């Protein structure tokens, strides 16, 4: 990996060597002297590593020296890990003290033999280090001793200027207009506002600032315009001097105090626009020292800050920052051809498609486009362009102003531990959605996370690392879950190229074209599916010192996995997801360094070898999606370092092993399965195993709760800081004959969770009422209750002030959601309400007082979905509904209630004027006229499904100017009125961009999709319109439609109509002239 992190690895080893635990072990095995000598040698070498790492970029001799050193340092790390693992193994070994001592004395690993072997290994590594240290003396490398990084000097970034020719800027017109409008028309109350422009290197932040700075409106609006290129070093005196120079003032030999007084005098009371370009400083105090000098401008003054870091934007900005995006593809092509073809289109028709594929790799980054264009300018043949297309930028030589050297400035500003974490991301392919939890687990497995405070949670530090990189634009497209926790992200292709560059030969993604792997590779991912005959040859060709091996989606025989486990004994991370494995071989115990094991989605695995419990260093075990896995290893309690156990979607799990509660480091346990029959094994662990898992957090699903005998459970869930609790009474498809409803009620009552719980989901609960503690969970954000078929009423939930989403489904006996009226407040935060399949539900409240019920409103509700509740007739109103309203198989009384505004409502805004999506389904309505569609001025999507009695669309459809999508399905009368532009209701809908009738696209992006033949191929039979499809299907369709109408007869007009009439007559319909078929 990147040479810059070697200092940290060496430092970690020195820390281990100095730890009290290792010294005690050293005394026990008689190797303390060797450990001290190793520490001394390594400390001497570490002293010059920082200087060596900086000089290695320009001095090949230093680079080679570091390469040799790195191999030995890795070996030393492995040896110390062996040492610690052996000590841990002895600590967890079972049996009494006497039997252990006898066993150890006669085993190969007794302390004399083991100490002798380890001593020789330590000595061998020390001698290798001594030889490398001697090389430094024999070939003078001129390395200086340093124990911390030197302050960054300005590296390579040229000083920027304020001018840019308008003709030089492509694709930034909208960005310029947005920022200029802000500068000229903002109503901010601050005298001086600060507006950061944020984006990754090379995106054109400086160019955009120049574009704004030189805008004619900006020139005339401000009294002063100032440009300062700040760059790496944020020196207050230097910045003040540059600002004065920008005004045009001559500078003498003044101190900072005199300079700041002169600057304040120049800008005081004047409306100025100052651009601070290329700011890297993340020290709040330094920024505040500058800000206090600049705040004396007149009201309407602005400071534009360009930066790669969101942290800088948070520190400096008085407004939310402007996130600069990449250029659109057409603008990227315009910039590209301006350089390569001097603005003309290429003469060869084959070149443009290749060029467009090449610039797609740039992701809209102007500097990348310019870099590539300047290289391709000198390449004339299509073959050269094709070879360029297949290569990564990391493999292409660039000058110091190219895109990767520019991006590397961001990397150079990272601390050593962040450099390691970023470089590791080269292991994930381009365009890959990275699961952030997985990424952090793997960082921890490799020891990349530096834990300065022993009481801190290492996963929390990992999140901080991730956010540091994210704020500096190394990651993008960050997704969060409903609780705001980070879930996933991606990397820009150029950032991936940078990671590949700095990772060097240590990380490789092997594709099907590669025949071998560089011997220096430590982290490897296979990015293709191997044929079964190729697995062993490929595995044997891979260096044995791998620390990460990710090989998802393979098709292994079990003996293939054995070869993998036995070949790579230094692995810290092993990912074998979806490899068609039927078992995890006992040979896995040879991977004693392993911290992270993912064998998820191997659905054929039925059991895990108990030898997996010999992996004392294991921190993460993922068996999720192993659908036929019946049980976890019996001695799982031996995995004393296990922190995360992912076992969700293991639907065949019969129980949890006894002793699970001894895993006191466990933070994640996704499923806990209650045994249906506790007699199936003496190794069955009950719910009380949860009592000692004090560190458990995140989400926990307890399954088979209905099989708790007599409802007697005593887990103390109140001590667990869970955010999500999912309770499943019995598995889907299980007969409920063995499940006792009273027992379930008692069990659920005893499972009272911590009051900080955010989400509660209950499935297939057999009790008649829910526990009283549900109403006291005042921090709940989401409640879901599904298939609780015996429940007749729900506990009071209207006082759960944080509740944002309530889902109720399959409650067969539920008649009212509330027995009594609401309290002083009524669901003050609820945004999403979903009620489905409650056939007996009649209303929200049982004791409804009309005078007070009208006061009950879902004030902030954004979405209401109601399916298959045919008896529901009343629900509190929701005046702010703005996302979606879905009504499927509900009573017309409910529909009328919803669309009739309350008389007591004081709002002057028409009901549902902000609604975006509306769906009517299976409603027995003939007209939509009563439902005030004219008020739906923001409606974007309308779906009408299976409303067979609906006769026409209302005239108000014309006024729905925001409507973009119309779907009509299963509405026979409406279908023939909207089927093409010749139908009766077409004028009402022709303005809609997308129209889909009966799964047939009639209009797309505002363009009519039927040609004249298709449009005329509709047979209009009075009230019936028939499309000329396959003849037999036409006959069947007409027959079905006409059978639903009053008796009609058919006459022949044209030959086709006569043929249709003849066929219909065979269906029992008479022939007459009362119905005319027009073709």
- What are the residues facing 574 on neighbouring strands? 549, 597
Q: C-alpha 682: how far from its chain's center?
A: 41
Mark 919-956 as b/e (b = at least 16 C-beta within 10 Å): bbbbbebeebeebbbbbbbebebbbbbebeebebbbeb
Residue 531: exposed, middle, or buried by beta-carbon count in 10 A (0-12, 13-18, 19+)? exposed
- Which among 668, 699, 704 has a CA at the least distance from the CA of 687? 704
User: Which of these CATH numbers, 3.30.70.1450, 3.20.20.220, 1.10.10.10, 2.130.10.10, describes 414-510?
Assistant: 1.10.10.10
Confidence of residue 991 (pLDDT cuts 50, 70, 90): very high
pLDDT at 1046 over 60: no
Candidates 976, 977, 971; CA nearest to 957 is 977
Q: For residue 911, what pLDDT is reported? A: 82
Neighbours of 156 (CB within 10 A): 12
Give me the mean pLDDT over the 172-186 stretch. 95
With 90 as the cut, is the pLDDT of residue 343 above it? no
Give SS3 for 435: strand
The closest of 754, 664, 742, 647 to 702, measured between CA atoms, is 647
pLDDT score of 811 more than 90 = yes
Render pLDDT for 993-1004 as a digit per residue (tens, 0 to 9).
999 999 999 999
The pLDDT of residue 1034 is above 60: no
The answer to whether residue 322 scores a pLDDT higher than 90 is yes
**Range of weakest confidence among 498-502, 709-713, 885-889, 1038-1042:** 1038-1042
667 touches 643 (CB < 8 A)? yes
- Which segment of 528-537, 861-870, 966-975 scores lowest on mean pLDDT? 528-537
Spatial CA neighbour of 13 closest among 75, 87, 76, 65 = 76
Q: What value does the mean pLDDT take over residues 302-308?
A: 97
Cα–Cα distance, 189 to 319 (Å, whole number):
11
Residue 272 exposed, middle or buried by CB count within 10 Å (0-12, 13-18, 19+): buried
Tokens of 291: 């800000």
Other C-beta atoms within 10 Å of 282: how many? 19
At residue 732, the pLDDT reads 47
Mention every residue, 6+ apart, whose C-beta is less than 8 A from residue 1058.
Answer: 1052
Q: What is the pLDDT of residues 617-665, one digit of tens each?
A: 999 999 999 999 999 999 999 999 999 999 999 999 999 999 999 999 9
Beta partners for 864? 833, 885
pLDDT in tens, 23-79: 777 777 778 888 888 888 888 888 888 788 777 777 888 888 888 898 899 999 999
CB 65 within 8 A of CB 72: no
Nearest partner of 494 among 445, 426, 575, judged by Cα: 426
Helix (H) or strand (E) holding 899: helix 892-899
Spatial distance between the Cα atoms of 426 and 444, rounded to a whole number of angstroms = 17
d(CA 799, CA 512): 59
- 93, HSE (Cβ side, Cα atoms, 13 Å): 16
Q: How confident is the model at residue 1030 (pLDDT cuts 50, 70, 90)?
A: very low
pLDDT at 270 over 70: yes
In sequence order, the β-bridge partners of residue 192 are: 301
Q: What is the pLDDT of residues 743-756, one digit of tens each?
A: 788 888 888 999 99
H/E stretch holding 943: strand 941-945
Least confident of 676-680, 716-720, 950-954, 974-978: 676-680
d(CA 75, CA 81): 10
Q: Does position 475 have pLDDT exceeding 60, yes or no?
A: yes
Token digits of residue 354: 């290749």
pLDDT above 80 (res 144): no
Token pair listed for 68: 């040799």
Rounding to the nearest 10 degrees, give the CA dihedral for residues 263, 264, 267, 271.
140
Nearest CA among 1046, 1056, 1050 for reference residue 1071: 1050
pLDDT tens track for 82-107: 888 877 777 666 544 444 444 544 45
Chain-centroid distance of CA 619 in Å reads 23
Better pLDDT: 840 or 526 = 840
User: 493-503 and 403-412 are packed helices; what angle lies between their axes, rounded to 10 degrees?
Assistant: 70
Calpha distance 444→428 (Å, rounded): 17
| Contact call for residues 294 and 270 (beta carbons, < 8 A) | no
Taking the C-alpha atoms of residue 829 and residue 835, their distance in angstroms, rounded to an integer, is 17
pLDDT classification of 298: cutoffs 50, 70, 90: very high
Give the neighbor-by-neighbor strand order of the sheet with 1024-1027: 1024-1027, 1018-1021, 1077-1078
CB 950 within 8 A of CB 944: yes
Residue 57 exposure: Cα atoms within 13 Å on the Cβ side: 12
Contact 632, 659 (CB under 8 A): no
Condensed to tens digits (0 to 9), the pLDDT of residues 564-591 reads 777 889 999 999 999 888 888 888 999 9
| Token pair recorded at residue 765 | 């609960």
| Residue 355 CB burial class (10 angstroms; 0-12, 13-18, ≥19) | buried
The Cα 522–Cα 545 span in angstroms is 6
Q: CA-to-CA distance for 675 and 703, rounded, in angstroms? A: 9
CA atoms within 13 A on the CB side of 880: 11
Q: Pick from 603, 596, 538: which is nearest to 572 by CA?
A: 596
Helix 493-503 / helix 416-424 crossing angle, nearest 10 deg: 110
To 10 degrees, what angle do helices 32-46 and 20-29 make?
Answer: 140
The CA distance from 358 to 1041, in Å, is 56
Query: 744, exposed or middle or buried, with CB in 10 Å at 0-12, 13-18, 19+?
Result: buried
CATH topology assigned to domain 166-323? Rossmann fold (3.40.50)
Do 6 and 53 touch, CB atoms closer than 8 A?
A: yes
* pLDDT above 80: residue 316: yes
HSE value, Cβ hemisphere, 13 Å, CA-based, for 559: 3
Question: Do residues 713 and 738 make contact, with C-beta atoms less than 8 angstroms apart?
Answer: no
Q: Are 379 and 388 in contact (CB under 8 A)?
A: yes
Cβ neighbour number for residue 833 with a 10 Å cutoff: 21
Please state the domain extents for the chain. 3-138, 166-323, 329-403, 414-510, 594-690+700-746, 755-846+861-873+886-897, 1017-1079
Distance from C-alpha of 270 to C-alpha of 143, rounded to nearest angstrom = 53
Strand runs labelled E in 300-443: 301-307, 322-323, 434-435
Instruction: Provide mean pLDDT across the span 551-566.
Output: 71
What whole-number distance in Å separates Cα of residue 775 and Cα of residue 827? 12
Q: What integer is the mean pLDDT of 938-955?
A: 94
Cα separations (Å) of 1027 from 246, 944, 1075? 74, 20, 17
CB 829 within 8 A of CB 859: no
CA-based max dimension of the chain:
113
Sheet with 301-307, side-by-side order of all strands: 224-231, 272-279, 301-307, 192-198, 322-323
3-state secondary structure labels for all residues of 356-378: HHHHHCCCCCHHHHHHHHHHHCC
What distance in Å separates the CA atoms of residue 152 and residue 409, rounded to the nearest whole number? 10
Q: How confident is the model at residue 198 (pLDDT cuts 50, 70, 90)?
A: very high
Coil vs helix vs strand at 450: coil
Out of 53-62, 215-224, 624-633, 726-735, least confident range: 726-735
pLDDT of residue 565: 76
Mean residue pLDDT across the chain:
84
> Which distant-in-sequence residues (6+ apart) come within 8 Å of 235 by Cβ?
none
Contacts of 585 (CB under 8 A, 6+ apart): 558, 561, 562, 565, 609
Q: Measured between alpha carbons, how far is 523 from 425 in angstroms, rounded to an integer?
A: 11
Q: What architecture is the 594-690+700-746 domain classified under in CATH?
A: Alpha-Beta Horseshoe (3.80)
What is the H or E stretch that residue 336 is in? Answer: helix 329-340
């Amino acid at each position: 990996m990147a040479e810059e992190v070697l200092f940290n690895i060496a430092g970690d080893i020195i820390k281990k060597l100095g730890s009290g635990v290792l010294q005690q072990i050293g005394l026990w095995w008689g190797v303390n002297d060797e450990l001290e000598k190793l520490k001394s040698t390594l400390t001497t070498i570490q002293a010059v590593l920082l200087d060596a790492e900086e000089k290695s970029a320009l001095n090949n001799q230093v680079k080679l020296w570091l390469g040799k050193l790195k191999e030995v340092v890795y070996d030393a790390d492995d040896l110390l890990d062996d040492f610690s693992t052996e000590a841990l193994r002895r600590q967890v070994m079972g049996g009494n003290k006497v039997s252990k001592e006898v066993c150890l004395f006669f085993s190969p690993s007794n302390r004399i033999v083991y100490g002798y072997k380890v001593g020789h290994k330590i000595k061998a590594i020390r001698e290798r280090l001594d030889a490398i240290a001697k090389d430094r003396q024999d070939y003078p490398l001129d390395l200086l001793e340093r124990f911390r990084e030197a302050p960054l000097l300005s590296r390579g970034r040229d000083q920027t200027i304020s001018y840019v020719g308008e003709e030089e800027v492509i694709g930034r017109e909208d960005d310029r207009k947005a920022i200029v409008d802000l500068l000229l028309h903002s109503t901010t109350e601050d005298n001086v506002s600060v507006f950061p422009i944020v984006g990754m290197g090379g995106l054109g932040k400086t160019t955009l600032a120049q574009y704004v700075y030189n805008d004619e409106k900006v020139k005339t609006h401000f009294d002063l315009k100032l440009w300062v290129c700040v760059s790496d070093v944020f020196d207050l005196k230097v910045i003040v001097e540059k600002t004065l120079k920008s005004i045009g003032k001559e500078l003498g030999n003044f101190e900072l105090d005199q300079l700041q007084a002169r600057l304040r005098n120049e800008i005081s009371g004047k409306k100025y626009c100052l651009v601070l370009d290329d700011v890297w400083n993340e020290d709040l105090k330094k920024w505040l020292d500058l800000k206090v000098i600049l705040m004396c401008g007149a009201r309407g003054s602005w400071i534009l800050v360009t930066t790669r870091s969101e942290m800088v934007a948070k520190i400096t900005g008085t407004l939310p920052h402007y996130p600069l995006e990449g250029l659109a593809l057409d603008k990227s092509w315009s910039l590209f051809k301006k350089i390569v073809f001097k603005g003309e289109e290429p003469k060869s028709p084959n070149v443009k498609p290749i060029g467009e594929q090449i610039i797609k790799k740039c992701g809209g980054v102007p500097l990348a486009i310019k870099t590539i264009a300047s290289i391709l300018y000198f390449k004339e043949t299509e073959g050269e362009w094709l070879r360029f297309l297949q290569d990564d930028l990391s493999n292409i030589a660039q000058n110091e102003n190219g895109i990767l050297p520019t991006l590397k400035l961001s990397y150079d500003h990272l601390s050593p531990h962040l450099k390691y974490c970023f470089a590791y991301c080269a292991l994930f392919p381009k365009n890959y959605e990275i699961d952030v939890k997985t990424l952090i687990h793997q960082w921890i497995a490799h020891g990349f996370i530096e834990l300065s405070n022993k009481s801190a949670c290492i996963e929390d530090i990992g999140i901080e690392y991730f956010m540091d990189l994210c704020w500096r634009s190394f990651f993008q497209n960050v997704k969060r879950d409903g609780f705001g926790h980070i879930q996933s992200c991606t990397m820009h292709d150029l950032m991936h190229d940078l990671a590949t560059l700095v990772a060097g030969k240590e990380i490789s993604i092997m594709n099907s074209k590669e025949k071998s792997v560089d011997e220096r590779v430590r982290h490897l991912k296979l990015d293709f599916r191997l044929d079964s005959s190729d697995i062993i040859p490929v595995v044997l060709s891979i260096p044995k010192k791998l620390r990460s091996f990710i090989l998802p989606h393979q098709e292994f025989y079990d003996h293939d996995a054995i070869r993998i486990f036995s070949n790579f004994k230094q692995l810290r991370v092993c990912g074998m997801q979806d490899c068609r494995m039927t078992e995890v071989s006992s040979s896995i115990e040879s991977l004693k360094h392993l911290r992270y094991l993912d064998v998820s989605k191997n659905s054929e695995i039925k059991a895990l070898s108990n030898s997996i419990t010999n992996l004392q260093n294991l921190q993460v075990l993922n068996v999720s999606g192993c659908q036929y896995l019946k049980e976890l290893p019996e001695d799982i309690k031996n995995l004393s370092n296990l922190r995360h156990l992912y076992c969700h979607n293991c639907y065949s799990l019969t129980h949890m092993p006894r002793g699970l509660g001894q895993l006191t480091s466990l933070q994640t346990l996704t499923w806990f399965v209650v045994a249906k029959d506790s007699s199936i094994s003496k190794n069955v662990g009950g719910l009380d195993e949860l009592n000692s898992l004090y560190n458990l957090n995140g989400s926990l699903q307890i399954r088979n709760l209905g099989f708790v005998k007599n409802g007697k459970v005593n887990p103390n869930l109140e001590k667990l800081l869970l955010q999500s609790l999912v309770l499943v009474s019995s598995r889907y498809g299980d007969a409920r004959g063995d499940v006792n409803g009273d027992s379930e009620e008692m069990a659920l009552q005893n499972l009272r969770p911590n009051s900080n719980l955010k989400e509660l989901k209950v499935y297939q609960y057999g009790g008649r009422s829910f526990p009283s503690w549900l109403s006291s969970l005042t921090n709940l954000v989401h409640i879901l209750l599904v298939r609780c078929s015996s429940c007749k009423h729900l506990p009071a939930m209207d006082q759960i002030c944080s509740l944002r989403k309530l889902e109720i489904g399959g409650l067969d006996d539920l008649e009212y959601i509330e027995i009594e009226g609401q309290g002083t407040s009524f669901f003050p935060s609820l945004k999403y309400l979903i009620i489905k399949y409650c056939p007996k539900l009649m209303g929200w409240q049982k004791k409804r007082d009309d005078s007070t019920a009208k006061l009950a409103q879902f004030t902030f509700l954004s979405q209401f979905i109601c399916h298959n509740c045919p008896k529901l007739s009343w629900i509190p109103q929701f005046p702010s509904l703005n996302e979606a309203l879905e009504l499927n198989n509900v009573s017309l009384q409910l529909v009328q209630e919803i669309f009739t505004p309350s008389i007591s409502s004081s709002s002057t805004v028409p009901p549902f004027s902000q609604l975006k999506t509306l769906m009517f389904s299976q409603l027995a309505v003939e007209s939509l006229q009563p439902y005030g569609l004219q008020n739906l001025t923001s409606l974007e999507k309308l779906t009408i499904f299976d409303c067979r009695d609906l006769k026409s669309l209302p005239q108000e459809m014309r006024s729905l100017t925001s409507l973009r999508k119309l779907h009509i399905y299963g509405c026979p009368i409406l279908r023939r009125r909207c089927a093409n532009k010749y139908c009766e209701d077409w004028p009402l809908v022709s303005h809609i961009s997308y129209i889909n009738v009966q799964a047939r696209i009639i209009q797309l992006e505002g363009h009519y999709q039927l040609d004249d033949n298709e449009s005329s191929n509709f047979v209009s039979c009075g009230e019936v319109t028939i499309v000329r499809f396959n003849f037999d299907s036409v006959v069947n369709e007409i027959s079905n439609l006409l059978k639903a109408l009053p008796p009609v007869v058919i006459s022949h007009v044209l030959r086709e109509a006569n043929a249709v009439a003849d066929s219909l007559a065979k269906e029992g319909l008479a022939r007459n002239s009362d119905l005319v078929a027009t073709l």
